[in-house]
Structure 1
Amino acid sequence: MKVALVGIGKIAVDQHVPAIANSDDWELSATVSRNGSVEGVPAFTDLGEMLSAHPEVRVVSLCLPPVPRFDSAMQALRAGRHVMLEKPPGATIAECHALDAAAREAGLTIYATWHSRHADMVAAAKDWLAKRRLRRMTVTWKEDVRRWHPGQAWIWEPGGLGVFDPGINALSIVTEILPDDIHVASAELDVPSNCQTPIGARIAFHHPKGAEVTATFDWRQDGDQIWRIEAETDDGTLTLADGGAVMAVDGTPTGTAAPLSGEYPRLYAEMAALVTKGRRDMDLRPMVLATDALALGRRIATDPFHD
């Protein structure tokens, strides 16, 4: 299938372009971006022009920031194209519901992707936890924003999510591997005095069976980057490290893999399957947790952030 990639930034260049190039399902037929392009691929700066020029493109994959994504996604759906959304799928829950309804009415596929769910050991962790009673889960997601998101000022503006941009990756894994749904009970948010979104967060969740579930997100991490989930159960402790690529039970590794190595190829394989079967996938649970934490969180002013 022919696909157009909209928003040629870091994540598109690092992950989407190689995943498409190495897939038997896809051909990158066009790009839309104000600043970026892919060598050898027709490049546009306007989505409408691309849609008119390339009626053979069946799928539009959107890598834009969350706030402008809705208009582009709706434009693609109205043009009869299937839509694939980089995480988070939008700036608000309401606009995600509107996109899903538009896709359903048009008989089109829309896919809210959560790449971290496709890390190598997430499925194994889900199977392991399904057979056990959870007592405690601790999520620690700490990284250096200057290393992973250099110069991306939109992250600090309303709708940009701040530290929840990576933190939502952790929430996507948690909502996938837990047998029971959780919701936010309370949160503290560290917000730089010159930003609109948090640089750090501490969250407590309600678990329906009484387990203690907490998360700590921080974008000020020096040294080793930490993407870790630890789940203590009535029958041992499971640890997911490196964003779900490494799993251990009671300290004994059960498998290892390079982070991100297969996540985006799996996303595109899933999108191909959804289009072929005429289905949609708009699981918004990670976004619900993130936006609820932003709604409930007590804001703590911190030092200004300078990139």
Structure 2
Amino acid sequence: MTPIRTAIVGLGKIAHDQHIPAMASLDEFAFVAAASHRGHADGIAIFRTIDELLASDVAIDAVSMCQPPQARFDDAAKAIRAGKHVLLEKPPGATLSEVEALVRLSEAAGTTLFAAWHSRFAPGVAHARAWLTERRVYKVAIVWKEDVRRWHPGQTWIWEAGGLGVFDPGINAFSIATEVLPRHFFLRDGTLEIPSNCASPIKAQLNMVGMSGAPVTADLDFLQTGPQTWDITVETDAGTLVLSEGGAKLSIDGTPHHVGPEREYPALYERFAKLIANGQSDVDRAPLRLVADAFMRCRQVQVAPFIE
């Protein structure tokens, strides 16, 4: 098997924590180069910009975009126009229209474009989807609370317009919910709490509803200390399903179900390899659409400034 020669744009925390180890664990990929203003990686060529990377003599087949979403579109578009397959770390862009433009560019170029909703590859998600397929859903509660100072230290981009704030982790919950719930759901209203020195929310409470009228609520908090909470609870006609720890664990009516080991990012890259092999793309916009709807429809309340 000839590995897919892959470059990374943006050698930040997510690249080092997840993308590089995932590629190293798979025969399908070879990590051969990077473009990054800062950061390091042993044994590969590193360029300052994607322009320098694409103009170099380093042969690449695909590019993983791991920079902040506000800076992603131009680099992704350049890679697609150069005939490269592109993986977009979540969120796939700063706006829905940006992502739509990338889809159209990829279709015209005949390349693979993959919106990498990594939480959909958590061990419990496929099992939850299969179990919920035949169930009638009565109520859904999403509780996603984590400590921004722990998970995003020094990442000021997250508070800027397009950085999503608390929706950066919250969109992971939406990616799971839109994958496992058997029917469409949509936003009615809610509240976004935005620090006076930021452009993105630090807390969010959303009221959504399914096509059958079942309420779907989301409670997102970026100031959670102590134990972190990443839970989705689904009450159905056959019992209550709980996906906890970001989809890593699954229980039904309090009984744990075995779901296998944690390997989100290796599974993500296996999916990317299959898409490339089959000449396909996978760019689901549903999770990002819910976030965009929240900025359009929710009441915004100014709260105390965020000081890291």
Q: For this structure pair, what is the TM-score category when the shorter chain's length is used for normalisation?
A: over 0.9
Residue pairs, 1:71-150, within 5 angstroms: 71-150=74-153
**Corresponding position of 1:162:** 165
**Corresponding position of 2:12:** 9
Report the alpha carbon displacement of residue 54 of structure 1 after superposing the two structures with TM.
3.9
Shift of the 54–179 alpha-carbon distance from structure 1 to 2, 3 Å rule, reads farther
Aligned with 1:187: secondary structure? strand
**Corresponding position of 2:183:** 180
**CA distance in 1: counterparts of 2:306 and 2:259, whole angstroms:** 35
- Counting matched residue pairs gives 305
**Corresponding position of 1:235:** 238
Aligned with 2:250: secondary structure? strand
Q: Which whole-Å deviations, capped at 9, do the CAs of 1:26-63 have from their partners, x for residues lacking one?
A: 00010110011211111111111111214620101000
- Relative to the length of structure 2, the TM-score reads 0.97
Unaligned runs of 5+ residues in structure 1 are: none
Q: Which whole-Å deviations, capped at 9, do the CAs of 1:135-161 have from their partners, x for residues lacking one?
A: 000000000000000000000000100
**CA distance in 1: counterparts of 2:184 and 2:103, whole angstroms:** 22
Residue pairs, 1:1-307, within 5 angstroms: 1-54=4-57, 56-255=59-258, 261-307=262-308
**CA distance in 1: counterparts of 2:259 and 2:124, whole angstroms:** 8
Say if 1:121 and 1:244, in contact at 8 Å, map to a contact too. Answer: yes
Q: Which whole-Å deviations, capped at 9, do the CAs of 1:173-230 have from their partners, x for residues lacking one?
A: 0000011111111010011111000000000112110111100100000110000000
**CA distance in 1: counterparts of 2:281 and 2:57, whole angstroms:** 23
Say if 2:141 and 2:232, in contact at 8 Å, map to a contact too. Answer: yes
**CA distance in 2: counterparts of 1:150 and 1:254, whole angstroms:** 34
**CA distance in 2: counterparts of 1:56 and 1:80, whole angstroms:** 12
Say if 1:246 and 1:257, in contact at 8 Å, map to a contact too. Answer: no
RMSD: 0.9
Say if 1:137 and 1:232, in contact at 8 Å, map to a contact too. Answer: yes
**CA distance in 2: counterparts of 1:246 and 1:116, whole angstroms:** 12
Paired AA for residue 287 in structure 1: L
Report the alpha carbon displacement of residue 97 of structure 1 after superposing the two structures with TM.
0.5
Identity score, percent? 48
Paired AA for residue 281 in structure 2: R
Unaligned runs of 5+ residues in structure 2 are: none
Report the alpha carbon displacement of residue 280 of structure 1 after superposing the two structures with TM.
0.7
Q: Which whole-Å deviations, capped at 9, do the CAs of 1:222-265 have from their partners, x for residues lacking one?
A: 1100000000001100000000000000000002666xx30000
Paired AA for residue 263 in structure 2: G
Paired AA for residue 230 in structure 1: T
Paired AA for residue 277 in structure 1: N
Paired AA for residue 245 in structure 1: A
Q: Which whole-Å deviations, capped at 9, do the CAs of 1:37-91 have from their partners, x for residues lacking one?
A: 2111111111111112146201010001111100000010111111110000000
Aligned with 1:266: secondary structure? helix
Say if 2:123 and 2:247, in contact at 8 Å, map to a contact too. Answer: yes
